[in-house]
Amino acid sequence: NKPHVIIAMKVSEEVENFIGETCTYQKWTGEGGMPQAELLKLINEADGLLTSGARRIDKELLDQAPRLKVVSNIAVGYNNFNLEEMKAHHVLGTHTPYVLDDTVADLVFGLILASARRIPELDRFVKAGQWKKGMDEVLFGSDVHHKTLGIIGMGRIGKAIGQRAVKGFDMKLLYHNRSRNEEVEENLGAKYCTLDSLLQESDFVVLMTPLTPETRDLMGSREFDLMKPTSFFINASRGETVDEQALIEGLKQGKIRGAGLDVFRKEPVDPENPLLQFPNVITVPHIGSSTGLVRDAMAMRAAHNLVKALKGEEPIDLVI
């Protein structure tokens, strides 16, 4: 008897066929993921679940999944997993590191450049016919090269951002992390800092840490107070790492010059969210890893993790 799998989001035919070699499956083909109510109807039959990182794997779901052996995230973040409940239910969890590192780093660099040089704001300005002869200072932005970049959360993606900063833009690199990263210190000249001195010294602060109980609300009003009024804040981790109210207040009071945000407390972001009103805040819809090539690679990696677990072998990207 083949194991049965729920493919709860759209994947390529290649991924589907790979799963089909060893498993029976039901799949969701609509945009977004399979609605939770639909999944709850199917999960009691499932040995494996392939899902985006947007789906909460909680007690309610696990209680209805007596056969479930593995949940495979098509995401590097796995804050959607209730790890204790998964352990208690003997369900493995996997994620998809490595394949997205450079793609996320590219986006972060895009946000750095776009906020420093005000590219989206000035694009709207040109298209609105506001560009007049002799304009000069009103178009000024900030330099990126030779400035100081501070990365909070120096993992694989942080390193890829650091490489771009140091090798491409001659930036000075600071980082804060749970543990020292000797590789980035040696190869990129990165300097380890306390959170406070990183915030005080950086021209660009990039938040790249995973969401954990320790990093929830890591950036609050105290932290924005420490940043330079000329600095920019970039978040490509998870919305919950930032107290959004504190960020809004910080922007209003000119504690920082601008922000670039790929993630929000609530996604999709509420159109009424005051962050969307600031011309100096750049927003993108959680697209860090969004290129066709990389999303396919993530889905294939997730499928391999899933199948390995269902064969009783150890998946390479086991998180629990």
The residues annotated with a catalytic role in the active site are 238, 267, 286
3-state secondary structure of 86: helix
Would you count residue 30 as binding ligand GLV (CB under 6 A)?
A: no
Helix (H, G, I), strand (E, B) or coil at 123: helix
Task: Please report how close the Cβ of residue 73 comes to ligand GLV at its closest, in angstroms.
Answer: 8
195's CB contacts (< 8 A; 6+ apart) are 152, 176, 218, 223
DSSP 164: I
Under rule CB under 6 A, residue 55 binds ligand GLV: yes
Please identify, among the stretches 72-80, 187-195, 226-234, 303-311, the one whose residues bind ligand GLV according to the rule CB under 6 A: 72-80
Q: DSSP for 221-243, please give it.
A: HHHHHHS-TT-EEEE-S-GGGB-
Residues 295, 297, 300, 301, Cα dihedral to 10°: -110
Omega before 97 cis (within 30°)?
no
**Which of 77, 162, 250, 260: binder of ligand GLV (CB under 6 A)?**
77
The residue at minimum Cβ distance from ligand GLV is 33
Q: Which of 23, 75, 154, 190 binds ligand GLV (CB under 6 A)?
A: 75
The SS3 assignment for 201 reads: helix
Q: How far is the CB of 215 from ligand GLV (least distance, A)?
A: 14
Q: Is 51 in the site for ligand GLV (CB under 6 A)?
A: yes
Task: Give the span between the Cα atoms of 194 and 283, in whole angstroms.
Answer: 28
Helix (H, G, I), strand (E, B) or coil at 260: strand
Strand locations in the chain, DSSP E? 4-7, 24-27, 48-52, 70-74, 92-94, 148-152, 172-176, 191-192, 204-207, 232-235, 258-261, 281-283
Decide whether 51 or 209 has the Cβ nearer to ligand GLV. Answer: 51
For ligand GLV, the binding residue among 18, 19, 25, 52 (CB under 6 A) is: 52
Tell me the C-alpha distance between 287 and 264, whole Å.
12
Residues between 104 and 143 that touch ligand GLV (CB under 6 A): none
> Minimal distance in Å, beta carbon 285 to ligand GLV?
11
Rounded-to-integer distance, Cα 150 and Cα 133, Å: 38
CB of 19 to ligand GLV, least distance (A): 14
Among 6, 8, 11, 248, binds ligand GLV (CB under 6 A): 8
Exactly one of 3, 5, 6, 9 binds ligand GLV (CB under 6 A); that residue is 9
Task: For ligand GLV, give the closer residue by CB, 157 or 190.
Answer: 157
Site string for ligand GLV, 260-299 (x = CB under 6 A): ----------------------------xx----------
Give the integer Cα–Cα distance in Å for 55 and 73.
Answer: 9
**C-alpha to C-alpha distance for 224 and 71, rounded to whole angstroms:** 37
Q: Is 235 in the site for ligand GLV (CB under 6 A)?
A: no
> Does residue 54 belong to the site contacting ligand GLV (CB under 6 A)?
yes
Give the nearest distance from C-beta 7 to ligand GLV in angstroms: 9
Binding range to ligand GLV, per CB under 6 A, among 70-78, 84-92, 239-247, 311-319: 70-78
Residue ranges in contact with ligand GLV by CB under 6 A: 8-9, 32-34, 51-55, 75-77, 100, 288-289
